[in-house]
Chain A
Amino acid sequence: MMKEQIVSVKTAALAEIAAAQDMKQLENARVHILGKKGELTLLQQGMRDVPREEKPAVGALLNEVRSAVNAALDQRLVELQQAADEQAVAGVDVTLPGETLPGGGLHPISLVRNEAVRILRRMGFSLADGPEIEDEWHCFDALNTPEDHPARNERDTFYFDSGKLLRTQTSTVQARVMEQQAPPVRIICPGSAFRRDAIDATHLSAFNQIEGLYVDKEVGVGDLKGTLEYFLKALFGEETPVRFRPHFFPFTEPSFEIDVQLLAAGQAPRWIEIAGCGMVNPAVFENIDRKTGKNLYSGCTGFAFGIGLERLAMIRWGIRDIRLLIENDVRFLAQFS
């Protein structure tokens, strides 16, 4: 009698649980079955009327039913939650445009400068610096530029009434470092330089360079070649051909211009001039030693190089007009994010 009741409650309860369509119905079902006045609770209370000999069997049955009901409730809960979760995201359109955050990024000149600096620091160069408002000694005299050189003219160089000038090249830092430090010297200096050129698609009167200098005993042309080949291949790709053309700069001898051969899609490979370099002219060492009154640099040799960062950026990203680099139009800058 009791057993039949229990079985029928169980059947009804499981059916009710299965029929629950949402959390509320499931909760109602739980209360209906297991609540204080729930059917199974009432049956359990009926245990006291069960004859003693039947109690173990009925009790076991009740427990079994209770576990089955609990299991069904748990399972249905998971199912309904899953269904509810799915329902909740049913309308989501992942193809909608994302929320827009304000965009940020570095200027292309910073990007190439940082990259060049990273490579060169890995090669054992450390950074150095010097003033942009320079004196003639560090900008010209120390670097073996003759008194009547065209660059030493107020039409080519920005002078101040004080007689100082805006440095025309970052090479000034060579002199600044050597007068403060004994060899060996292994430095790079990224920075601004100024020339009195009218601004057009290929010229700026203020531009950025990175300068390098290595001075020690017995530094040779082979070191210059090995160092710059490694640097330029790291910058442009391991397979990039690099060549050195003899040239002239007052502060190095011999001097070279360096070309890299670059491939542009659909074009024949082109040699592009990328940097100037050379062995430090002994006159530069003599000038430094004369200035400091110490004989630190006699017997030293070394090499120096300079590379234009605007040119590097223009080659790398196909920038046709150098003025884009100083206009800072967001539509341009955003392309480097």
Chain B
Amino acid sequence: MNISGNWLAEYVDTAGISAQEMADMLTFAGVEVEGMQQRGVDDDLVVVAQVAQKTPVEGSDHLNVCMVDAGEGTLRQIVCGAQNYKVGDKVPCALPGAVLPGGWRIKEGKMMGHASRGMLCSASELGKPDKEHGLWILPQEYEVGMPLSKLTTADTIFELEITPNRPDLLSHWGIARELAGISGRSLKADPAPNNAETKPAGESILLEAPELCPLYTATRISGVKIGPSPEWLAERLIAIGLHPINNVVDITNYCLFELGHPLHAFDAAQVRGALHIRRAAEGEQFTSLMHEDYTLESQDLVISDDSGRVLALAGVMGGLNSGVTDDTTDIILESAWFLPSSVRRTTRRLGLGSDSSYRFERGAAAWNVLRAAARAVQLILECAGGKAEPVAVAGQAPCTVPEQQAAMASVLEQGTDAKIYCALNQVVLDWKELDVMTGGSVPHMEAACILKRLGLKESTPGQWDCPPWRLDLKRSCDLLEEIVRVYGIDNIPATRSAIYVPESAQDRTHDFRSALSYRLAGGGFREVQSFKLIARQSMDPTIASVEYALPIKPLMEGDVISVALPLSEDHAVLRPSLAPGLLAVAARNMNQGAEVLRFFECGRVFRNTGGGKGRDIEMEVLGILMAGRLGPASRTQLKPKTVAPEHLSAVLELLVPKCELSLSPAKQTRKAAIFGADIQLGGQVCGYFARVAPAVCRSLGLPVDCYYAELDMRKLQQLATAPFKVKDLPLYPGSGRDATLVVPAALRHAEILKAVNAAKEKLLVSCRLKEIFTDPTGEKLAADRKAVTYSFTYRDADKTLTAAEVDAAHAAVLKVLTEKLPGVTMR
């Protein structure tokens, strides 16, 4: 909201404080000043000058050399490019050294060979609204040589951010009252008339939806003359960024920004009979005065008349059919109270907001209804003439006081023949609460003084009546807040207190995740953080899509959780796996020329357990992606290897090195994988390993071999942090024996190991794969066979084995292998 410093100065004594001091004062009391703009000049070097001569500059189509009288005794030569002035006009002249708004310093100079000793100014160059499109032609009565700042005052516009709890600050009077309260400066006379003459509305106003509009007033003013607003009023509106329209409409806007209560003026000639404040019919049409059409619902509140037409969307905007025009002679001025949630619902649904709806949504004070009406009537009679009837009042102020207090509430009474009663909030405040909150640093006397300055009254000791405009003050903590913000947190000493807290499970999870992340980073993997909302399907490879999920458990129909109203199809569902994000990252980086694609991410994945009917579960997982080259090319490694499954296995071995890793081909497929395996650590399934389908890679613009693993972080942490005891180091040496088995090419390593284990040879301590030999040509070995060499180590914990004992053990193992493995031959 924009606030004009000059306008503000009408209501509160701001003498002797600079704009910056004022801004700080407001900001540190909770009214944030987001910006400040200077309008007009306060520099004495900008003076009134009269143009004495004007000679065109030869060779220029627009420049003139002017001799101006700036009251210095001699004429001053200035080159000027404007066209809209003549000899004898009085215009603003910035003398050398003057600083114009925006920090523009005027210097002597030369233009096309002619000395120019200053600048003749337009209104906009002086921060004023530009009307003439050229120099600012000043009134002839202005005295030559007078500083312009003495004739038209400069202004500062403050851009304020008002928090939603303080609708009472959405006006100049509101800010003035606040400024007086926080600074102790005196507040000047209230611009609203003391009281207004009222009459019961009777049948002229029908409150047909009292739950949305419990109080409505209308004032008929006949014989008004519509025309432009007086200069002072138009200037104030322009200063805060509004466009003057006509005197009546401008006055309703002026009152809104003066007192904070929205008003609306109808052309009385367009209103047939009584005003009906009712809910709209479903599908009812409304054309706003901005010529936009809207379809209404029964949740919307409208102002209508006997003809049934919608004259206005209550509290939001007037209709095209009933607005004030140049031909209007009689008006009906509305001042009412609308339920905030109702106005909010309508503006949000229609995407139609206004200065008026902004205030009603946040909660206008019913106390202001009559004040604003009376003030507007006063101004309209002053500026547009006419004759006003008493304010017709229908309904009563809503009770905003908590019910249990209502009975004993103090009540303000407004109006004459039809009264409006506003109950005041009453709050009990125990100073002990203040002492706890501030560590006893705020003297009670001073706290009481602050509350009084803010308009509260201590009706009985410890009980405070809140002013009718402060609907946000309901409980003692609201009062404490007022005291603390006005007293200033700077004046409350900082303390450092702490208690011992036990380490939580989340602390340990955080530590495990950090350690694992640094381990992977050390292994040459970059951590990424990808978006948790992904697409169901996307043509753009850099957008993560559910199609490429490679979750630990296969996805079932309905497992994926969709948001009801996504921002875009690209972010429509919660990721059930980290693979889509990591693949999109790989695709993006491949696109940028990266050849080594090694990424990991640690984060939550989401799914519904029962195909959309069960619980939503969230799970921390680790995703690791390896694609393309194993490492960067260098002068010694011109063509680094491409990534193979064993490279990713090697990384998996690093995660929990003390647990044995094994991969077993997965029974259930994931669409995006060409093959996959369950990852077992220490015998527990805790992840899924996949070669991403080359077709998927190609469609992602990732024409390289790509491997991915997703692991359950909770299981990894359990395994990694499980207690254990160290094993004794062997006292006796082990003996090695190698064996080469020729087996069918399709026989898996895991099956051979299974057979080795089946031998249950007590002396065998390890069996390690040494070499695999194949010969596709079939010369040295049949093409459908492979020769696999294993190194076996035998050891006895209690003695050194003799060669014969080792041989016997080895032979026993090989015998089992021959029995268990079909088609095996020994070499």
Residues of A within 8 A of B (CB): 96-97, 99-107, 109-110, 114, 117, 121, 123-129, 131-133, 147-148, 150, 153-155, 158-162, 164, 166, 184, 186-187, 189-190, 192, 194, 196-199, 205-206, 216, 218-223, 225-227, 229-230, 243-248, 253-257, 279, 281-283, 301, 325-331, 333-334, 337
Bound state CA distance, A37 and B574, in angstroms? 89
For chain B, which range describes its interface: under 10, 10 to 19, 20 to 34, or 35 or more residues? 35 or more
Bound state CA distance, A187 and B502, in angstroms? 10
Whether A221 touches B501, Cβ cut-off 8 Å, given contacts A99-B636, A102-B631, A206-B531, is no
Bound state CA distance, A279 and B637, in angstroms? 61
The answer to whether B524 touches A102 (Cβ under 8 A) is yes
Asked whether B309 is an interface residue with its Cβ less than 8 Å from the other chain, the reply is: no
Whether A325 touches B499, Cβ cut-off 8 Å, given contacts A220-B437, A247-B32, A330-B594, is no
Point out the residues of chain A lying under 8 angstroms from B355, CB to CB.
none
Whether A221 touches B588, Cβ cut-off 8 Å, given contacts A166-B563, A205-B567, A254-B484, is no
8 Å CB contact of A126 from B436, B480, B492, B502: B502
8 Å CB contact of B507 from A123, A127, A243, A326: A127
Most-contacted residue by chain B among A150, A254, A257, A301 (CB, 10 A):
A254
Bound state CA distance, A253 and B437, in angstroms? 11
The answer to whether A154 touches B529 (Cβ under 8 A) is no
Closest CB of chain A to B768's CB: distance in Å? Answer: 26
The answer to whether A159 touches B565 (Cβ under 8 A) is yes
The answer to whether B499 touches A216 (Cβ under 8 A) is yes
8 Å CB contact of B564 from A110, A159, A247, A253: A159
Bound state CA distance, A129 and B620, in angstroms? 12
What 0/1 readout, one digit per residue, does chain B (482-511) give for beta carbons within 8 Å of chain A? 001100011011111111111110110110
8 Å CB contact of A244 from B341, B489, B567, B618: B489
Of all chain B residues, the one with the shortest Cβ separation from A196 is B567
Bound state CA distance, A17 and B520, in angstroms? 57
Bound state CA distance, A165 and B32, in angstroms? 31
The answer to whether A127 touches B494 (Cβ under 8 A) is no
The answer to whether B529 touches A109 (Cβ under 8 A) is yes
**18 A–B contact pairs at CB < 8 A?**
A100-B634, A104-B522, A104-B524, A110-B527, A121-B507, A126-B501, A132-B532, A133-B561, A150-B344, A186-B499, A192-B604, A199-B567, A246-B489, A247-B163, A253-B481, A254-B484, A328-B528, A328-B588
Point out the residues of chain A lying under 8 angstroms from B503, CB to CB.
126
The answer to whether B30 touches A196 (Cβ under 8 A) is no
Bound state CA distance, A192 and B620, in angstroms? 13
Whether A246 touches B30, Cβ cut-off 8 Å, given contacts A107-B528, A148-B344, A222-B492, is yes
Known contacts A104-B526, A190-B510, A330-B526, then 18 further A-B pairs from the complex at CB < 8 Å, ordered by chain A residue: A103-B526, A109-B529, A114-B514, A117-B510, A148-B345, A154-B565, A158-B533, A187-B504, A194-B532, A220-B436, A220-B492, A221-B489, A221-B492, A225-B495, A226-B495, A226-B496, A229-B494, A247-B30
The answer to whether A205 touches B571 (Cβ under 8 A) is yes
Point out the residues of chain B lying under 8 angstroms from A189, CB to CB.
506
Asked whether B149 is an interface residue with its Cβ less than 8 Å from the other chain, the reply is: no
**Residues 502-547 (chain B) with a chain A CB within 8 angstroms:** 502-504, 506-507, 509-510, 514, 517-518, 520-533
Whether A133 touches B631, Cβ cut-off 8 Å, given contacts A105-B521, A154-B564, is no
8 Å CB contact of B526 from A126, A155, A333: A333
What 0/1 readout, one digit per residue, does chain B (616-638) give for beta carbons within 8 Å of chain A? 10100000000000111111110
The answer to whether A105 touches B527 (Cβ under 8 A) is yes
8 Å CB contact of A133 from B28, B30, B606: B606
Whether A153 touches B348, Cβ cut-off 8 Å, given contacts A281-B477, A328-B599, is yes
**Residues 434-476 (chain B) with a chain A CB within 8 angstroms:** 436-439, 441, 475
The answer to whether B562 touches A160 (Cβ under 8 A) is yes
What 0/1 readout, one digit per residue, does chain B (542-563) give for beta carbons within 8 Å of chain A? 0000000000000000000111
What 0/1 readout, one digit per residue, does chain B (229-243) give for beta carbons within 8 Å of chain A? 000000000000000
8 Å CB contact of A248 from B166, B494, B530: B166
Closest CB of chain A to B674's CB: distance in Å? Answer: 24
Bound state CA distance, A125 and B496, in angstroms? 13
Whether A123 touches B498, Cβ cut-off 8 Å, given contacts A114-B514, A131-B618, A132-B618, is yes
Point out the residues of chain A lying under 8 angstroms from B193, CB to CB.
none
Closest CB of chain B to A180's CB: distance in Å? Answer: 11
Point out the residues of chain B lying under 8 angstroms from A124, CB to CB.
498-501
**Residues 629-686 (chain B) with a chain A CB within 8 angstroms:** 630-637
Asked whether B478 is an interface residue with its Cβ less than 8 Å from the other chain, the reply is: yes
Point out the residues of chain A lying under 8 angstroms from B596, CB to CB.
102
The answer to whether A254 touches B481 (Cβ under 8 A) is yes
Point out the residues of chain A lying under 8 angstroms from B571, CB to CB.
205
The answer to whether B564 touches A161 (Cβ under 8 A) is yes
Of all chain B residues, the one with the shortest Cβ separation from A208 is B529
Closest CB of chain A to B576's CB: distance in Å? Answer: 13
8 Å CB contact of B506 from A127, A186, A227, A325: A127
8 Å CB contact of A110 from B163, B506, B529: B529
Of all chain B residues, the one with the shortest Cβ separation from A229 is B494
Closest CB of chain B to A309's CB: distance in Å? Answer: 10
Point out the residues of chain B lying under 8 angstroms from A162, CB to CB.
616
Asked whether B589 is an interface residue with its Cβ less than 8 Å from the other chain, the reply is: yes
The answer to whether B532 touches A192 (Cβ under 8 A) is yes
Of all chain A residues, the one with the shortest Cβ separation from B483 is A254
Nearest 8 CB-CB pairings of A with B: A102-B524, A246-B30, A248-B163, A226-B494, A148-B341, A127-B506, A246-B485, A254-B481
8 Å CB contact of B438 from A132, A196, A222: A222
The answer to whether A245 touches B30 (Cβ under 8 A) is yes
The answer to whether B585 touches A328 (Cβ under 8 A) is yes
Point out the residues of chain B lying under 8 angstroms from A104, CB to CB.
520-526, 598
Bound state CA distance, A164 and B163, in angstroms? 27
The answer to whether A106 touches B592 (Cβ under 8 A) is no
Whether A186 touches B520, Cβ cut-off 8 Å, given contacts A133-B561, A247-B30, is no
Whether A159 touches B589, Cβ cut-off 8 Å, given contacts A133-B618, A218-B436, A245-B27, is no
Point out the residues of chain B lying under 8 angstroms from A218, CB to CB.
436
Point out the residues of chain B lying under 8 angstroms from A117, CB to CB.
510
Asked whether B164 is an interface residue with its Cβ less than 8 Å from the other chain, the reply is: yes
Bound state CA distance, A199 and B475, in angstroms? 39
Of all chain A residues, the one with the shortest Cβ separation from B27 is A245
The answer to whether A222 touches B504 (Cβ under 8 A) is no
Closest CB of chain B to A156's CB: distance in Å? Answer: 9
Bound state CA distance, A166 and B533, in angstroms? 10
Asked whether B316 is an interface residue with its Cβ less than 8 Å from the other chain, the reply is: no
The answer to whether B506 touches A126 (Cβ under 8 A) is yes
Bound state CA distance, A298 and B563, in angstroms? 37
The answer to whether B340 touches A148 (Cβ under 8 A) is yes
The answer to whether A331 touches B592 (Cβ under 8 A) is yes
Bound state CA distance, A192 and B618, in angstroms? 13
Whether A106 touches B496, Cβ cut-off 8 Å, given contacts A155-B348, A245-B28, is no
Point out the residues of chain B lying under 8 angstroms from A301, CB to CB.
436-437
The answer to whether A325 touches B567 (Cβ under 8 A) is no
Asked whether B365 is an interface residue with its Cβ less than 8 Å from the other chain, the reply is: no
What 0/1 readout, one digit per residue, does chain B (341-353) give for beta carbons within 8 Å of chain A? 1001100100000
Point out the residues of chain B lying under 8 angstroms from A337, CB to CB.
521
Point out the residues of chain B lying under 8 angstroms from A154, CB to CB.
564-565
The answer to whether A248 touches B436 (Cβ under 8 A) is no
Bound state CA distance, A199 and B566, in angstroms? 12
Point out the residues of chain A lying under 8 angstroms from B506, CB to CB.
126-129, 189
The answer to whether B340 touches A221 (Cβ under 8 A) is no
Bound state CA distance, A230 and B485, in angstroms? 21
The answer to whether B631 touches A100 (Cβ under 8 A) is yes
Point out the residues of chain B lying under 8 angstroms from A223, CB to CB.
495-497
Point out the residues of chain B lying under 8 angstroms from A132, CB to CB.
532, 604, 606, 618
Asked whether B307 is an interface residue with its Cβ less than 8 Å from the other chain, the reply is: no
Point out the residues of chain B lying under 8 angstroms from A129, CB to CB.
506, 509
Asked whether B165 is an interface residue with its Cβ less than 8 Å from the other chain, the reply is: yes
Closest CB of chain A to B326's CB: distance in Å? Answer: 38
Asked whether B29 is an interface residue with its Cβ less than 8 Å from the other chain, the reply is: yes
The answer to whether A107 touches B564 (Cβ under 8 A) is no
Of all chain B residues, the one with the shortest Cβ separation from A185 is B501
